[in-house]
Amino acid sequence: MIRTATPADVPVIHRLIRELAEYEKALDEARATEAQLHEALFGDRPAAYAHIAETDEGETAGFAIWFLNFSTWRGVHGIYLEDLYVRPDLRGGGHGKALLTELARICVERGYERLEWSVLNWNAPSIAFYESLGARPQDEWTVYRLTDAALAELGTNA
């Protein structure tokens, strides 16, 4: 059901990323191209990794894209899950849980001590799903982001 993505999966991953962006009401922000995804996942210096969830018939049900982070407090890597998406018509079939289980397995196998991700505050179904697996919100932290003009301004005034 879960396998490591291959370069042949890039077009379907790209399509599903666009579906995810539409679900999150941010389609205009999803600007990544297939070429960028290919380079990030399979280039000379991969920046991210991907797993694919498939149905018993071999149809792509969803994906997880993740990368390594590092905890200065624990002194080891962890996994940051950038995106987890299961097609709406295939939700409830265990694909999301299987993807998270695979990432947790990788953490345990490699000695990573954290598996982290963000979820939109309004996404109650996902929050309930994550909490059913034992995940807990880190509500004492607030995510900050620099992007677009603010990033360019700060980066050019260095």
Q: What distance in Å separates the CA atoms of residue 34 and residue 119, rounded to the nearest whole number? A: 24
Q: Rounded to whole angstroms, what are the CA distances from 65 to 24, 46, 62, 84, 139?
A: 16, 12, 10, 7, 23
Residue of 49, 85, 112, 130 marked active site: 130
What whole-number distance in Å separates Cα of residue 148 and Cα of residue 110? 35
Q: Tell me whether residue 144 is one of the annotated catalytic residues.
A: no
- Proportion of the chain in helix, strand, coil states, percent, rounded to 5: 40, 20, 35
Question: How many DSSP H helices and E strands does the chain contain?
Answer: 5, 5
Residue 85: how many other CB atoms lie within 10 Å: 23
For 8, which DSSP code? Answer: G
Catalytic positions, please?
Answer: 130
